[in-house]
Amino acid sequence: MQLTNRSKVVSNKEQSFAEKIYLPAIISGMATTFSHLFKKRPTIMYPEVKKEYAPVYRGQHVLKRDENGAERCTSCGMCAVACPAEAITMESGERKKGEEHLYREEKYAKKYEINMLRCIFCGLCEEACPKEAIFLTDKIVDAEFERDTFIYGKDKLVEKIDKRIDVTKRQTPEVLEFKKRVGLRHNELNKTIEKKH
Amino acid sequence: MLIEFIIYKSIICVAIFALSLGIAAYSTWWERKFAGLLQDRWGPSRAGKWGLLQPLADGGKMLFKEEIIPSVSNKVLFVLAPGLFIVTAIIAGVLIPWAKPVMIGDSIYPIQIADVNVGVIFLLSVGSVGVYGIMIGGWASNNKYSLLSAIRSSAQMISYELAMGISLIALIITAGGTLSFAEIVAAQDAGFANVVWQPLGFLIFFVCALAETNRAPFDLAECETELIGGYHTEYSAFKLGLFLFAEYINMFVSSAVMAGFYFGGYNFPFANELYTALGLQEGHWLISLIGFGAYFTKTLIFISVFMWIRWTIPRFRYDQLMNLGWKTLLPLSLLNLLITVIVEYFRGNINF
């Protein structure tokens, strides 16, 4: 019974002379390969030329400082809660007198670690952050030789004062507006925290 | 006189030896570059400009790798095989007349290591000895894949040598009955290159040369997909390097042989007119240099064609290989011989 009309009868016919001596097929094949000599190549010479990333590419994290150079992170732990891979750990500290130029709020992250081997670069930490402190950048996490070195501390995560990282592309007004929307989990959490205070 | 002779021969030996090795080394580079270009890639580009230092890097890698000799192998033969293979590959290069003889004072210096008067036969016999390198290597490895590869390779070489030999007989008739390489090339000085009279013969010789050098589509001896690495499965480090290197020397020599036998070697169209226009006397070193350039260019083109074929055509099956050799090429070469004899009879070159 014929179910579809896609079936093909297999032909096992004898090769013709032209097929037997292979030459016509070989010549047409060689013409094909020769034409590829002049085609455009998709190769990107990597270390010298880099492929452009989207402005919202999710790469290595950065802990932002504010306009005065003080760390924005207040060690609330929202990012750690949001992190599906449980890659973020932190330890809070209290700001002393005279450290106002270092930390924006009274509570700050004494230790802030992201395990880059656990991180799946989903960007939920960025979304959860109420202080606009953590962002993902378009930098790719470097290769390392040891597993321990993949746990990035504040020395690697906090942006350098003289080398600020531009995140305006991912911190557009729309994004900020979106983050305030009622019903997002981090907003609910924020409210409960505020109520406690 | 004797001292002069020895110095001249040593210089030319060393020069051609270095040339063979240099070309073989840079063939590996060009093979990879050309393969890349044919496949929409760039090929090696990291070691030096355009990857030109790649052969050095490869050679260094081969030298410093660990050398493993299997405990079950026949050690003497195992070590002997790569050496034998590369030596036979280099020996065939002595015949090639690279340029017209240079005249210094009253003495004539041919740019050729040895003008053997039975050059064609010498070439065929050296080519046949070349199969011993593969056979011994494959057998001494004591590995079934290597052995299979060695058997295949020797069967292939013997089958294709037949058609090659017969196509060369036709060539010799066209070239005026000489077996000397230098004379065959020199005979193409006036008139046409031999390929005009021997198009079919050239085609057969070319296919056989591919088979003799174990190049794709006839690389059944290596055949990664079926036989791992073929006869050099068990080889490592520089012994493997020698095997791979010898393949490229073979390719270089057979390209040079084809360029000489069928495409006029150091001759090119309007060569003599050019030399007269430049006011060069017979035996001037500049004539030899230009001739060498022509010969070398032809050789390089042939090497590129070898590579072009390799990256175009898939490997033959073993039965297809044998069918092509015995049922197509052998009758065709006999037919070519017949046609050649008839044509040469009417051209008046043969008298019965």
Q: Do B38 and A33 touch (CB under 8 A)?
A: yes
- Dihedral of the CA atoms A116, A119, A123, A127 (nearest 10)? -100
Question: Given the DSSP bridges, would you call strands B99-104 and A134-136 parallel, antiparallel or unpaired?
Answer: unpaired
Confidence check: pLDDT of A20 > 70 = yes
B334, B238 in Cβ contact below 8 A? no
Q: Of A89-93, A110-114, B103-107, B130-134, which range is least confident? A: B103-107
Mean pLDDT of B78-95: 87
CB-CB neighbors (< 8 A) of A43 in chain B:
41-42
Q: Of A36-50, A63-77, B100-114, which range is least confident? A: B100-114
- B66 and chain A in contact, CB less than 8 A: no
Q: Which residues contact B46 (CB under 8 A, 6 or more apart)?
A: none
pLDDT in tens, B148-204: 888 888 888 888 888 888 988 888 888 777 888 888 888 887 777 778 788 888 888
Two structure tokens written together for A20: 């037997």
Place of tokens 């003497």: B76
Q: Please tell me the predicted confidence (pLDDT) of residue B316.
A: 83
Q: Do B313 and A29 touch (CB under 8 A)?
A: yes
Q: Which residues contact B51 (CB under 8 A, 6 or more apart)?
A: B29, B32, B33, B43, B44, B45
Name the helix (H) or strand (E) containing B252. Answer: helix B237-262
- B38 and chain A in contact, CB less than 8 A: yes
Report the C-alpha gap between B242 and B210 in whole angstroms.
Answer: 19
Q: Please tell me the predicted confidence (pLDDT) of residue A196.
A: 66
Which residue, among B30, B33, B34, B37, would best test binding to A if mutated, counting the most A CBs under 10 Å from its CB? B37
pLDDT in tens, A120-172: 998 888 888 888 889 888 888 889 899 999 999 998 888 888 888 887 777 77
Measure CB to CB from residue A42 to each of B40, B311, B312 and give the nearest one. B40
Report the C-alpha gap between A177 and B306 in whole angstroms.
Answer: 65
Confidence check: pLDDT of B292 > 80 = yes
Q: Is A7 exposed, middle or buried (0-12, 13-18, 19+ CB in 10 A)?
A: exposed
Q: Which residues contact A178 (CB under 8 A, 6 or more apart)?
A: none
pLDDT in tens, B228-280: 777 888 888 888 888 888 888 888 988 998 888 888 888 888 777 777 777 77
Q: Do B311 and A34 touch (CB under 8 A)?
A: no
CB-CB neighbors (< 8 A) of B39 in chain A:
36
Q: Please tell me the predicted confidence (pLDDT) of residue A189.
A: 65
Q: Please tell me the predicted confidence (pLDDT) of residue A197.
A: 63
Confidence check: pLDDT of A185 > 70 = no
Q: Which domains does chain A have, with CATH numbers?
A: 61-196 (3.30.70.3270)
ipTM value: 0.72
Q: Could you tell me which chain A residue has the CA closest to the CA of B43?
A: A43
Average pLDDT, chain B: 85
Q: Rounded to a whole number, what is the distance in Å from the CA of A77 to chain B's nearest CA?
A: 46
B89, B253 in Cβ contact below 8 A? yes
Q: Do A30 and B324 touch (CB under 8 A)?
A: no
Mean pLDDT of B2-28: 87
Q: Do A41 and B40 touch (CB under 8 A)?
A: yes
Nearest-CA neighbor of B178 among B62, B99, B260? B260
Enumerate the domain spans of chain B.
2-347
Mean pLDDT of B199-224: 83
pLDDT bin (cut points 50, 70, 90) of residue A38 is confident
Q: Please tell me the predicted confidence (pLDDT) of residue A187.
A: 67
Nearest-CA neighbor of B199 among B123, B136, B274, B263? B263
Task: Determine the distance from the C-alpha atom of residue B208 to the mean position of all C-alpha atoms in its chain, rounded to a whole number.
Answer: 11
Name the helix (H) or strand (E) containing B4. Answer: helix B2-38
Measure CB to CB from residue A21 to each of B308, B309, B328 and give the nearest one. B328
B47, amino acid identity: A
Confidence check: pLDDT of B107 > 80 = no
